[in-house]
Structure 1
Amino acid sequence: MLLNLARQRRVLFFGGKGGVGKTTMASAVAVMAAEQGRRVLLVSTDPAHSLGHLWGRRIGPHAVPLMAGLDGLEIDPAESLESHLEQVGRSLRKLMPHHLAGEVDKHLARSRDAPGIHEAALLERLAQTLIDGMQQYDLLVFDTAPSGHTARLMALPEMMTAWTEGMLRQRERSDKLGAALHGAGGAQDMAARIIGKGDQILTPAQRDDTIRSVLNRRRERFVVLRDVLADTQRTGFVIVLAAERLPVLETIEFEGQLRRAGVPVAGLVVNKRMPAQAGDFFAEKQQQEQHYLAQLREALPQLPVEEVVLQRLEVAGEDGIRALAGMLRAE
């Protein structure tokens, strides 16, 4: 399953409960694709940034080469928020009189802790990374945050697209009202009352064009992200889990959340499976894993399942990731 996904898809997302090996699996599949000659970008959206720890090197918010054909970057949520607020501030200052600049700064300061602002900022950065990456790479592999956070993030493109389109419709109604006021000779009086003497500000027509332009750019990014996430020919979402009670139950719930958000799951990877010939000490553990895997297959019979055996040594560094990729390719 993983080998086919690495060959056939343009975008892959790896998600699941924390600590199950999402970063390791995402890296191994990225290596597999790069070794097949594809140009690959490996992206971490997890605030913990375990990608750099796994590869044993610094990986920042800009793409850096990890090996031949493979680049990596880590999206920093804090940096994404600052960039998002800076863009919002620039737009607001264009639309507001100079004497209200202090109010803009106060609004941005309050917005920093507003519910959903971090997710919105991360979503915009994710969308732009995807748009830019699909122009430069053959495959994008996203190592996502733990499942609860990712489920909320995956539901946002549809919501944000609808919100932005609603704002554009509201602008259209406002434009019609403005045209009526202008025809009645009231637009200039209203603008004069709002702007005030001595302020340098865009004309009402320029202000409306700026708002429309900002909303349209945002809508275009979200539409692309929404469409890519829902396209099973280009995109695959892989849930990584361990054959244990809580990861299995969380995976079943996570799959339902993604499906309701319009993000179909391409398959499941059961990581760190106990080897069949592990001796008497682990025989009971392996039987317990089989019980939970039966529960998983009964709940999600439509999804392919790939099992990855527990490695003798911890996977770390390029050599360790290449070895795991080679094992996955051979299965």
Structure 2
Amino acid sequence: MKFLEQAPRFLFFTGKGGVGKTSIACATAIELAEAGRRVLLVSTDPASNVGQAFGVGIGDKITAIDAVPNLFALEIDPQAAAQAYRDRIVGPVRGKLPEAVVKGIEEQLSGACTTEIAAFDEFTALLTDVAITSGYDHIIFDTAPTGHTIRLLQLPVAWSGFLEAGKGDASCLGPLAGLEKQRAQYSAAVDALADGRRTRLILVARAQNSALREAARTHVELAAIGLHQQFLVVNGLLPKEEAALDALAAALYAREQAALAATPDALRGLPCDYVPLKPFNLVGIDALRQLFVETPPHLDAAVGEAVELHAPSLSELVDGVAADGHGLVMLMGKGGVGKTTLAAAVAVELAHRGLPVHLTTSDPAAHLAETLHGSLDNLTVSRIDPRAETERYRQEVLRTKGAKLDAQGRALLEEDLRSPCTEEIAVFQAFSRIIREAGEKFVVMDTAPTGHTLLLLDATGAYHREVARMLDARGAHYTTPMMQLQDARRTKVLLVTLAETTPVLEAANLQADLRRAGIEPWAWVINNSVAAARPRSPLLRKRAENELAEMEKVATTHARRYAVVPLLRDEPVGAPRLLELAGHATEPA
């Protein structure tokens, strides 16, 4: 592996949920330790399964992995770190400020950015404290901080009092209120990250257009702030020999090769490694040792002979949606799970039944909207441009809140407006103009904001004022979007995930986030299931078997109702294939 050659002291692995960065980080740690190096593996992933991968309990204390001499591991619990962080910041103002203000601060500190900054606060010592790290040749981090977080830590501004002064908008600056005393330590940590002699960043992706685009964005963002020592690992490639055994495998192989051929230009200059798809779950030391080893070309044909799967189809789930005759259907989930495609599939299935549907999407690749436009009676499609809406929102905030700020305050506000929440807020304001149609037809909404963002919007009143402005002028009675989203009779939220460990954990965390905002998800959708596709390839059959445990968790622990969507041979573009995806029609085996 190129990324292991002359490995520096610090190795950071980053990538979207479900691409396999934890498995690759664990396999790297084993390889270096078995080469005689003393290694500490640190996870700051909210959905960490490092302990599960090694088959031992780890937790928040450095733990020796007995089966691998020289290897030690540590799991920083980002949720616990974030709670301690919140308590440290909110405690001094509790009882001194009005309760409503305190609640607003707590919500400001409840999002993903707080968790990330709190985790960074925890592992900063591992980058800077010689007393802790002197005993290790390599320190490997599963989940690197984002460019946004690092830029926030670099801003030369005093954070204290920021929230109470009301200068910010609803996003990620709240967590910075308690950092002033640690700025020197953070500066040293950021310097270590940017030093290519000490640090290497490994971008992990799958051979999928969305995952490669995400890796390219991360590369550009981190390179812009000085992290130039980057490598790319494309994980989970289907071996070519499997393509000869099965029509599904052949289609997947062709799709992956096309994605690799279209790799974004930003990634083409990076050193790159390719890791083949394995037929087994990467749990346990023996399995992890095999990750970087070539898999034998053929598996025993008897392995995974028949995967019996009896699960509801998306079409069956739509039966319950269609019964109401109209309403808002929101699809939510982490990046890369297929929200946009499933939103289109739900819309097409409803329209096919003769029901009026408006599909609204913020999909940057507008091919779905183009393909569906006019292709079915009862269906209209609109696309919201996230960049245009975000820029419009940014300019409005800078014009109003930024008008009276000094240069430092304006720099802080501008960074605030680069946060992940900003696009969600801006896009949802655009969506909110369409939501009112749900009283007369179905509105299917792709790329919905998280519960944290909705609570921030509720606290600031941003979209309430927008709705009020539009409807008060007519003297009309109105329901704000937040009120509508909390009304289960009007809104159905579908959580989209994959039948893999990390995506299921992330969806469960998102469900908890929504419940905090008073929104109860109506159903889960497990997308791109290999088991539901009934493959003939021995490798894919074994992968199908591995999905069953995650499906069982969804069905019995997380979801009130659920559906399973098969992995299709062809990209699901166009009404006929979307109907097939929903289970309305089945392609012959």
Taking structure 1 as the reference length, the TM-score comes to: 0.71
Distance in 1 separating the partners of 2:49 and 2:218: 22
Q: Does 1:114 align with 2:108?
A: yes
Distance in 2 separating the partners of 1:313 and 1:272: 12
Q: Which residue of 1 aligns with 2:345?
A: none
Q: Which residue of 1 aligns with 2:260?
A: 293
Q: Which residue of 2 aligns with 1:123?
A: 120
Instruction: Encode CA deviations 1:142-171: one digit per residue, 9 max, x unaligned.
Output: 1117xxxx42xx4323432434xx439xxx
Q: Is the 8 A contact 1:85 1:108 kept in 2?
A: no
Q: Which residue of 2 aligns with 1:96?
A: none
Q: Is the 8 A contact 1:239 1:269 kept in 2?
A: yes
Q: Which residue of 1 aligns with 2:230?
A: 266
Q: Given the alignment, which residue of 195, 206, 214 partners 1:242?
A: 206
Distance in 1 separating the partners of 2:234 and 2:226: 23
The 1:320–1:253 alpha-carbon spacing in structure 2 relative to 1, beyond 3 Å, is: same
Distance in 2 separating the partners of 1:232 and 1:60: 30
Distance in 1 separating the partners of 2:226 and 2:204: 19
Q: Is the 8 A contact 2:194 2:227 kept in 1?
A: yes
Q: Is the 8 A contact 1:124 1:221 kept in 2?
A: no
Amino acid at match of 1:3: L
The 1:71–1:108 alpha-carbon spacing in structure 2 relative to 1, beyond 3 Å, is: farther
Amino acid at match of 1:167: A
SS of residue matched to 2:270: coil
Distance in 1 separating the partners of 2:264 and 2:87: 47
SS of residue matched to 2:58: coil
Q: By how many angstroms is 1:313 displaced?
A: 1.9
Q: Is the 8 A contact 2:243 2:251 kept in 1?
A: no
Q: Where does 1:29-40 land on structure 2 (aligned, <5 Å)?
A: 29-40=28-39
The 1:300–1:157 alpha-carbon spacing in structure 2 relative to 1, beyond 3 Å, is: closer
SS of residue matched to 1:37: coil
Distance in 2 separating the partners of 1:32 and 1:78: 30
Q: By how many angstroms is 1:126 displaced?
A: 2.3
Q: By how many angstroms is 1:80 displaced?
A: 1.1
The 1:53–1:108 alpha-carbon spacing in structure 2 relative to 1, beyond 3 Å, is: farther
Q: Given the alignment, which residue of 144, 149, 159 partners 2:152?
A: 159
Q: By how many angstroms is 1:39 displaced?
A: 1.2
The 1:3–1:88 alpha-carbon spacing in structure 2 relative to 1, beyond 3 Å, is: same
Q: By how many angstroms is 1:312 displaced?
A: 2.8
Q: By how many angstroms is 1:141 displaced?
A: 0.7
Distance in 2 separating the partners of 1:58 and 1:271: 26
Q: By how many angstroms is 1:237 displaced?
A: 0.8
Distance in 2 separating the partners of 1:104 and 1:241: 46
- The count of corresponding residues between Structure 1 and Structure 2 is 265
Q: Does 1:222 align with 2:223?
A: no
Taking structure 2 as the reference length, the TM-score comes to: 0.41
Q: By how many angstroms is 1:268 displaced?
A: 0.8
Q: Which residue of 2 aligns with 1:319?
A: 286
The 1:33–1:240 alpha-carbon spacing in structure 2 relative to 1, beyond 3 Å, is: same
Q: Which residue of 1 aligns with 2:138?
A: 139
Q: Which has the higher helix share?
A: 1
Q: Which residue of 2 aligns with 1:28?
A: 27
Distance in 2 separating the partners of 1:10 and 1:251: 23
The 1:157–1:255 alpha-carbon spacing in structure 2 relative to 1, beyond 3 Å, is: closer
Q: Is the 8 A contact 2:10 2:140 kept in 1?
A: yes
Q: Where does 1:41-190 land on structure 2 (aligned, <5 Å)?
A: 41-66=40-65, 67-85=68-86, 87=88, 102-103=95-96, 111-115=105-109, 116-132=113-129, 133-144=132-143, 150-151=145-146, 154-163=147-156, 166-167=157-158
Q: By how many angstroms is 1:45 displaced?
A: 0.9
Q: Which residue of 2 aligns with 1:186?
A: none
Q: By how many angstroms is 1:297 displaced?
A: 6.1
Deviates more, 1:107-116 or 1:235-244: 107-116
Q: Which residue of 1 aligns with 2:444?
A: none
Q: By how many angstroms is 1:12 displaced?
A: 0.7
Distance in 1 separating the partners of 2:82 and 2:266: 38
SS of residue matched to 2:239: coil
Q: By how many angstroms is 1:310 displaced?
A: 1.2
Instruction: Encode CA deviations 1:83-112: one digit per residue, 9 max, x unaligned.
Output: 33455579x6xxxxxxx9843897877644
SS of residue matched to 2:107: coil
Q: Is the 8 A contact 2:3 2:271 kept in 1?
A: no
SS of residue matched to 1:136: coil
Q: Which residue of 2 aligns with 1:201?
A: none
What is the alpha-carbon root mean square deviation over aligned residues? 2.9
Instruction: Encode CA deviations 1:210-259: one digit per residue, 9 max, x unaligned.
Output: xxxx84x5122111111111111111111111112221222222222222
Distance in 1 separating the partners of 2:121 and 2:266: 34
Instruction: Encode CA deviations 1:169-215: one digit per residue, 9 max, x unaligned.
Output: xxxxxxxxxxxxxxxxxxxxxxxxxxxxxxxxxxxxxxxxxxxxx84
Q: By how many angstroms is 1:270 displaced?
A: 0.8
Where does the alignment leave 5 or more consecutive residues of structure 2 unmatched?
A: 160-178, 296-589
